[in-house]
Amino acid sequence: MIKSITGKYIISGGPGAGKTTLIEGLKALGYACSAEVSRRLIIEEVAQNSDCLPWKDIACFSDKVLDEMIVSWHNSSAPLSFFDRGIPDIIAYLKIAELPVPDKFMLALERAPYNRQVFILPPWADIYVNDNERWQSFEEATAIYKSIKATYADLGFAIVELPKVSLEKRLSFIIDFLNNI
């Protein structure tokens, strides 16, 4: 178990790197966790036959994700919590799409700050799987990972890259890391 560490930590990385599995593992250990907003919104928007999807209208989708991430951040009242992606991820996706990043994204990040250390999962071909919400090729997922990692670094976050190991070892890595800071 993690000692008396507090904060709101982001678990990030490209699509299909094991973030959701890791979040579920942390939740099973009793930690407060927030699920990935983007995946839920994609499912909802597809069900509504909406064009507000990342592959149709990334600006619209980014606005919705931002609103939901702010709510998720404010709803997390536990002293220690983990988030499946954070506001910087949206900024990275806008950069990938070569769209301007509206000021409201930076303002939201200031008003809903996360711990400055972010856990990032690298691309891992052995576990990568496409599904209804993950349409990118592994190569595209790798490019997204690079943009996400660069965006977090540009925003002053300290990158803590997780190794490509079993879920149990990734959980131990995070627990050991946080117990030693």
Report yes or no on 105 lying in a domain.
Answer: yes
- Residue 76 falls inside a structural domain: yes
What is the tens place of the pLDDT at every residue in 167-179? 999 999 999 999 9
Domain count, the chain: 1
Residue 34 lies in a domain: yes
Is 2 within the bounds of a domain?
no
For the domain that residue 21 is a member of, what is the CATH number? 3.40.50.300
Q: How many C-beta atoms lie closer than 10 Å to residue 33's C-beta?
A: 22
pLDDT digit string (tens) for 25-43?
999 999 999 998 988 999 8
Q: Is residue 1 part of a domain?
A: no
Beta-sheet strand order (sheet of 117-121): 32-34, 80-84, 7-13, 117-121, 158-161
Model-wide pTM > 0.95: no
Domain of 41, in residue numbers? 7-179
